[in-house]
Structures are given as structure tokens and as C-alpha cells.
Structure 1
Amino acid sequence: MAQAPSTIQAGTLDPTFAEEGVLTLPTPELIGPRTLALLPLAENKLLITVLLPEKPGSFGLAKVNEDGSIDMEFGGGTGVVEFSKADTNLETISHLSGLSDGGWLVIGEYGSPSGAGSYVVRFLQSGQPDTRFGEDGVRLLPFRPESRGGEDGPVTFSRRDREASAQTPLSSGNNGPFAVVQPDGKIVLRSAVFIGTDVRWVVLRLNPDGSTDYTFNGTGSVDIVFPGIPRVARSAKGIVLQADGKVLVFGEYSQTTPDSRGIYVIRLDATGHFDTDFNAGTGFVTVPNLSNANAVALRESDGAILVAGDTWPNPEQGYDRHGLIFVLSRDGFFDFAFNSGQPLFSKLVDKGHDWHRCAWQADGSIVVAGTTGRGLVEKGVSALTARFRSDGSLDLTFNGSGFVLFDEEVYDETVEVMALMPDGRIVVGGFRQLPAPVWGRFFGSWFIRYLA
């Protein structure tokens, strides 16, 4: 069951948030049962995405007050700002980004009678769509490439080529940051483009008004490749922006066999060209051996790069996952101050776990959150949050052991999001569902807040 806040220490549930530190959705005020994207706001509020089951193809935004209640003043007194586009099914909500003017970007995937693709919606701080962006606040990016003859014909992108779906839309937060916003307002995104049956992972940049920025690599996009190395990018999980405007991209690569896959981190300069200054001229860093990358974060003080994910060290012995963390300097060298310059593998519970989200705390500590078990259809899945010191050792002041489990007795929990509040408190969230054999029956979302 959920941990009771018996002592007031880091890693214990914050008793001032919702019901003894736990908020479950739906609530009487907020009926959207599944929400994944999460963004901390001023006044220790949270912005969350809300699916609207009574309005398929639409999504909403809602604010959660510091005490865990729903901000009913948002959305003109309803608590929800709704968004829809005619003849377009907004199927997923993948990412939330804050903007310097107080507004937000929402990114996801859509389907329509004419095809499918990705969308970017820009909201004002009031919650209204910014009509100066794209078409009435939204830019649609079809999966299939179009002519580059005009502003509406950039490289297009997605994880898969598919037709419009009639299914209920889903929130999605399974990857790292989908987009970053530069200080000049330009938007850098990552995804994939399909040419026939071939897929290429790309990074592209939009102008502040949503049009394609053709000054980025001369085309508006850049393919993720490994010059001179026989590796193929299997994914681009996310991107982050360094202080000097350079773009880090991370994901998974493969070589000639399925067992050859691993993690890569690659850097582009501010103009969208491959940066050979990264990692002493190679331009990229790789970590092999059946490893998956799930999240990335930059340390504000020195730009150190934190990557979190999981690995399968002994697939022939039960397929238990181990958590994986490694730290690079801002220029791509393994940080010897963290775990002697080596990736850190962890198995904090017997059934294994992944790390799905990560963050740097102000003092250099590392907070990670993930899901226990194999990540498959199984009983007993729960949420795991841990804190490591900057040298890679477990911080035993965090819940007295370095980690904490959130486990409701009736439901299984999967971790999808994590964020640090402005005051350092830790918010973790995800899905709740019934265990196998009826896995897939979702019963809403949950958020917990830990003291830091």
C-alpha cells in the first residue's frame, strides 16, 4: 500500500498534498482518467494533461494546486481548458514545455481522414491557443514527406507510418523530452521520417510562429547518423539544449544483430550540423549491451549530462532488468566523479526495475523514478523512486534506505512522469491498472509527492 508519512524526512510522502501525499484520478472535478504529461508551475502548482473520454479526439489541460486540489478557476471556472481541431483526432499527448511568456507547448500525434502525423499546439498563459502560431494555434506535421517548396513542407516525422485511428486517444510520456524551446523562441523537436518503408530519425527546428526554420542545417532538419561507424539509430528518445545552444540527442542504436543494440548520445551545433568537438572528435558516445535510454537531464552548474534507462544483463536468467545511470561532462567524456567514470547498474528490488525519469537536484544529487518488474504483463508492478549522491552511491538519508516503493495493494502502478517542484519536492506519476490476466484495464492515473 502507499507509504504512510510516519516521519518527516526526504523520501517520505508529503502529507500536505492531496490524501496523505497521493492524488488519484479521476476526481469528481476532473473526469479524464489518464494523464501523463506534467509541468511544474509557479506557486508550486502543476499543469497536467487530461484526456476527455466524453469528447474523443480532444484533450484538456488542468492545474493542480499545491495542496493537491484541482484549480477550478482555470478554464473559466471548469478546471479544464479543452482543445480540439476539426476533422482531426488528437490521439496522444506526448510532451509539455513551458515558454518564457508563461504559456505552454503541447506535442503529440494525430490522425485524420487525410493521414496522420504529429501536432504542436501553443497556448497562452490564459490557457487560450496562441492564434499567431501555426493555424489557429496548432501546427500539423504529416508523417509522409512533402515538397520543400513552401513553409508547410518540412521533413515530417513520427514513430510509425499509420492511418488515422478511430480508437480513444491516449496520453503518452514514454520517452525523454520531445522538444526544447530556445531562448529566441525557436522550437527544436525530434522524431522520425518515413521514405517508403525506410525510417530515419531526425531533429528539426520550427520558428516561433510554427513555420519551418530552414536555417537549421539548410533544410530545417538533420538525420541522426554516426559518420564512419556501422551503426543505425533505432530511436531518438529525446533532446536537450545546452547553454551554448548546442543540441544533445539521445536514444538507442543497433548494428548487425538485435543483441548489438545500445545507447547513444550525439551532439549537433546551434546550426544543426554534426558537432565533432563532442567526445574528442567522435561527435557521439555509446553504451552497448542491450541497454535502453529513457531520460536525460543537464546539471545547471556545469552542464553535466545525466542519462537514465535500463539494461538486461542476464537475459538467459529470467530477463530481470537493472536500472542504468551514467554521467558525461558537457563535452561528452565520462565523468570520473560519478561511479569512477563507469555506468552504474542497479537492482534495488529482487524483481528488477528500470529508470524511466531522472533529474538533478540543486546540490548535485540525482533523483530517478521507474517501474519494478520486467516491464511486461505481470502481477506486482510498482513505482520505485531513488536518490543517489553525486558520486553514484545511494543517499541513505532518502527514506532511510536510498529508495522508496509506492504500491497500492489492489492496483499495479507504472511510472510515466517525474518532476521537481521549485522548492525541490519530488512529484512522480503514472497509470494504475489491474494486474494480469486483465492487464490493460486502466483505472486512472496517480500522482505522489515526496519530501526532498
Structure 2
Amino acid sequence: MNQAQIPLDPEFGVGGVVSLPLPGISGSIPVAMRELNDEKLIVILRTTESQNSPSKVVRLNVDGSVDSTFGNGGSAPIVTPPQVFLSPSLLHLARDGKFLIVGTARCNNQVELAVVRQFENGDMDHSFGTAGLKCINVASLIGAKANVQVMTGRHDDKKIDDIAGLEGGVDYAVQADGNILLCCTVFYGFDDLQGMVIRLNPDGSPDVSFNGRGFVLIDLPNIQRRWNYALAVIAQENGNVVVCGDFVRHDSDEQPEAYLVCYDQNGHINPQFGKNNSGLVLITRPGYWLSLTSMALMPGANGLSGIIALGSASDDGMIVMLTPTGSFNLVFNNGQPLYTRLLKNGEKWFRRGIQRDSRGIPVAIIVSGRGSGDFVDERTSLVTARYQFDGTLNGFTEFNDGRGIDIFGDCIVLAKNKIVVSGYVIGPSPMPGNVLRYLG
């Protein structure tokens, strides 16, 4: 296929678009999606505090219509105590069909990490946490004093992602044994931030076998930092934990560099990963603000998967492909990070997926995110692109709602290779949202 625009699927919604809010269902911010075995979609709809309504789990039929057999007329509330306001961001479908919903919660004027578990019918799973909700107060966990809290956006005021919650928020991974990894960034004070990884047992209790405390505060080996962000986490098949993000060196006036750091299953630096067996991979591009915001395992040989990491280099998109041990994949872009500029104002990649052929063999990488640089306006869009495994561009598309500032939500690749992208629009009140399906 050439580099023509990837078309919307006319069999989904209206011309490929499901518009939000849905009739009779509050919430229009589609932050996370997953495909079910019957090809239906589960979508997490976030609400705002002013709506005085909980966020929802919604199930959509294959054509984009609401599945009225799910929950109450197609939706199920994410139930929390009255004093807790939940801001969900991520969704995981467990092997037993349960939903794991990850985000942050505001409780007693403090921001805490939050994990929710629901049954596949939308009911809360009371065997997890407290009545299905597990909140983690980071200050209490690390034994810190007041004013320590979880970051929900960048501390740099030029970043629109303070609103979107995509950069600087929380990420998760689920290990083969069902343990849950959470990563976030801890705010100590102005210009003093540090990444953190927490491991929970399957029931939501702390796994103290991880670093002896149930968590790791990220210090990059042999590097003094002014601050660092932990923005994404993955679990390798051998139990290793890889975290990525960005950092600024101590007493440095240079732009941030990007990093990946690997821990073994006990929460200790893995010396068999990265350059010179340091446990660390650094990506530097002088004069550019680098950040890695998302990761995924890539199919590989010998039972171990490689790593795809993506993010941005100032206004350019950035895609990195690594071997399981942290070396650059020589097939992808000749073993170098791929910096993209598909749109005039640039792009930032936030999510990724894999397309496969009829035999299940991976054939293409799908990346999706925001079309614009740091300074956004009504021209900001949702952009999605397809790349071959050597880094060659193989088609892309852009969507602009036209009613305000488009904010990216999520992107998934379906079993039949169609692509679903979500986002919402800042400007109108209430904020409208969109779920888009593209032909594969």
C-alpha cells in the first residue's frame, strides 16, 4: 500500500465516527478502549467533577451502536466512595474477562493512584482492594512528608498535556503471574520530581518481594538528575520490568533526554540490559526535548520479545525499536531512533499497535497520537500512521473535529486489523468526544 490516507470505516457509527456523549449516558471523554472476543468494544468514558456523575464503562456493538444488554442500558458506573473522584486513564482485559481500570483519584484533596477491578458485566469486584477499588497514597507508601503527590501532567506549563493527562500520568503492566505494575512520577517540589514503579499482588495488596518494599524510586545508574519522569512500564516474559520516560541532568541547561531502564523481577537494576551492561538505554538529540511516553513488547525469537518505545523529540514524533536486551534493532531504521514529521506542525506519538497477516505474523506497526507540537490550537488533530518493520512509512491519516482543540485518548488495533482511535474536544461545553474506526 502506498502512503495514501487510511480511510474511515463507513460501517462504524456515522461515516466511521461514533460521536459522544451517547444518548442517556454521561461522560464524553473516551480515555481507553479494548476489543472483546465477539468484536465488541469496551470504552472507558471519563466524566468531569462538575458533572457530579461517575465515569462509565460502555460496551459498543460492532457497528458502533450501544450494546443495551450491558450494564444499565449499555453502561456501568465505576463506583467509588462519595469522597473519591476517580479519573480513569487505562484499561486492561484480564484472561478471566475482568476489567482492570487504572488512573488517579482525588481523595481528601490529595491525588492518589487508583486501580479498579470489575466483572465482565460491569459489576465491581469486591474481592479486589476495598469493594473493587484500590487507592495508593504515594506519600504514605514512601514515608515522605506533606506535599508529596502523584503528577497527573507535566510540570512544564507549556504542555497542553496537563489537561490531557497523557504525559506525566500513570501507566500499568500486568505480569504473567497476575501481579500488577504501576508507574508514575512523584512531585516533591518545584523542579524536583522522580519516577516510581509499584508492584501489587493480584488482589491489590502490595508485593513487598519487589525491592523489599513493594516499589522502586527511579535513579538512573551513574546519572545525577534534577528530575525524571516515569511515563510507561512493560513486563518482559522473563519477569524483567522496563520503564521509560525522560530526565534532566543535575545542574544542566540542556533539553531533557529520554531513557529506558530495566529491573529484574526482584526490583534491582538488570545489568544484562542496555549499553555496557548498565541496565540503561539513553537517547539524546542535542537541541531537542526528548520524551518516551509509551512502550509495548514486539514479537521476537527465542521466547523473548523486543521493545517498541515511542514519544516525541520536541515537535517531531519519535519511534525506537530495541532487542529484548536493550540494543537497537538493526532492521528498524538502520538501528537508529526514527524521528517523524508527517504534519507541518509535527506530531507526538502516544499509543501503538501491531497489524498481522492471516497467519498471525506481524506485518506493520500502528502509531497514534496528537498532531501538533507543544503549543496547540484549533488545528490540533488526532494523527495515526502505519510503518513497516524497517521504519518505512506506509500510510497515515489525520482527524480534526473542527469545534475546538482535539485531545488524543487511545488507539487499538483490532483482531481484523481495523484501527480504532478516540479523542475529545476542548472548547464546547460539555466537551464532545469521538471514537473513530479506520479500515486496516
- Structure 1 residue 429, shift from structure 2 partner: 1.0
CA gap of 1:426–1:177, structure 2 versus 1, over 3 A, is farther
Higher mean C-alpha deviation, range 237-246 or range 406-415:
406-415
Structure 2 counterpart of 1:65, which letter? Answer: N
Partner of 2:329: 335
- Choose which of 14, 20, 23 in structure 1 pairs with 2:15: 20
Partner of 2:378: 379
Structure 2 distance, partners of 1:383, 1:147, is 38
Partner of 1:367: 366
1:387-414 per-position Cα deviation (integer Å, ceiling 9, x unaligned): 111111112xxxxxx2112233444423
Partner of 1:166: none
Partner of 2:180: 187
Equivalences for residues 64-83 of structure 1 within 5 A: 64-75=60-71, 77-83=72-78
CA gap of 1:408–1:171, structure 2 versus 1, over 3 A, is closer
Partner-residue secondary structure (3-state), 1:307: strand
Structure 2 counterpart of 1:420, which letter? Answer: V
- Structure 1 residue 147, shift from structure 2 partner: 8.0
Structure 1 counterpart of 2:237, which letter? Answer: A
Partner of 1:399: none
Structure 2 distance, partners of 1:233, 1:39, is 33
Equivalences for residues 397-416 of structure 1 within 5 A: 402-416=395-409
Partner of 1:203: 197
Tell me if structure 2 keeps the 8 A contact 1:369–1:418. yes
Partner-residue secondary structure (3-state), 1:339: helix
Partner of 1:225: 219
CA gap of 1:10–1:100, structure 2 versus 1, over 3 A, is farther
Partner of 1:388: 387
1:142-173 per-position Cα deviation (integer Å, ceiling 9, x unaligned): 1322588xxxxxx985558xxxxxxxxx8844
CA gap of 1:112–1:417, structure 2 versus 1, over 3 A, is same
> RMSD of aligned C-alpha atoms?
2.7
- Structure 1 residue 261, shift from structure 2 partner: 0.9
CA gap of 1:250–1:364, structure 2 versus 1, over 3 A, is farther
Task: Give the unaligned 5+ runs of structure 1.
Answer: 1-8, 149-154, 161-169, 313-320, 396-401, 435-439
Structure 2 distance, partners of 1:137, 1:351, is 43
Partner of 2:236: 242
CA gap of 1:107–1:120, structure 2 versus 1, over 3 A, is same
- Structure 1 residue 29, shift from structure 2 partner: 4.0
CA gap of 1:211–1:159, structure 2 versus 1, over 3 A, is same
Structure 2 counterpart of 1:235, which letter? Answer: Y
Partner of 2:435: 447
TM-score normalized with structure 2 length: 0.86
Equivalences for residues 50-449 of structure 1 within 5 A: 50-52=45-47, 56=52, 58-75=54-71, 77-113=72-108, 115-146=110-141, 157-159=150-152, 172-174=165-167, 178-193=171-186, 199-231=193-225, 234-255=228-249, 256-279=251-274, 280-289=276-285, 290-302=289-301, 303-312=305-314, 321-362=315-356, 363-395=362-394, 402-434=395-427, 443-449=431-437
Structure 1 counterpart of 2:279, which letter? Answer: G
Task: Give the unaligned 5+ runs of structure 2.
Answer: 154-162, 357-361
1:258-295 per-position Cα deviation (integer Å, ceiling 9, x unaligned): 52311101111111111010024110111123212222
CA gap of 1:115–1:48, structure 2 versus 1, over 3 A, is same
Structure 1 distance, partners of 2:181, 2:402, is 42
Structure 2 distance, partners of 1:449, 1:331, is 35
Q: Work out the percentage of aligned pairs sharing the same amino acid.
A: 29
- Structure 1 residue 27, shift from structure 2 partner: 2.2
- Structure 1 residue 354, shift from structure 2 partner: 1.7
TM-score normalized with structure 1 length: 0.84
Structure 2 counterpart of 1:208, which letter? Answer: P
CA gap of 1:273–1:432, structure 2 versus 1, over 3 A, is same
Partner-residue secondary structure (3-state), 1:236: strand
Structure 2 distance, partners of 1:232, 1:352, is 28
- Structure 1 residue 245, shift from structure 2 partner: 1.6
Partner-residue secondary structure (3-state), 2:334: helix
- Structure 1 residue 181, shift from structure 2 partner: 1.5
Partner-residue secondary structure (3-state), 1:43: coil
- Structure 1 residue 15, shift from structure 2 partner: 1.3
Higher mean C-alpha deviation, range 38-47 or range 262-271:
38-47
Tell me if structure 1 keeps the 8 A contact 2:221–2:280. no
Q: Count residues in correspondence.
A: 411
CA gap of 1:175–1:46, structure 2 versus 1, over 3 A, is farther
Structure 2 counterpart of 1:375, which letter? Answer: D
Kindly indicate which of the two structures has a greater share of residues assigned to strand.
2
Tell me if structure 2 keeps the 8 A contact 1:93–1:172. no
CA gap of 1:173–1:380, structure 2 versus 1, over 3 A, is same
Structure 2 distance, partners of 1:176, 1:361, is 27
Partner of 2:359: none
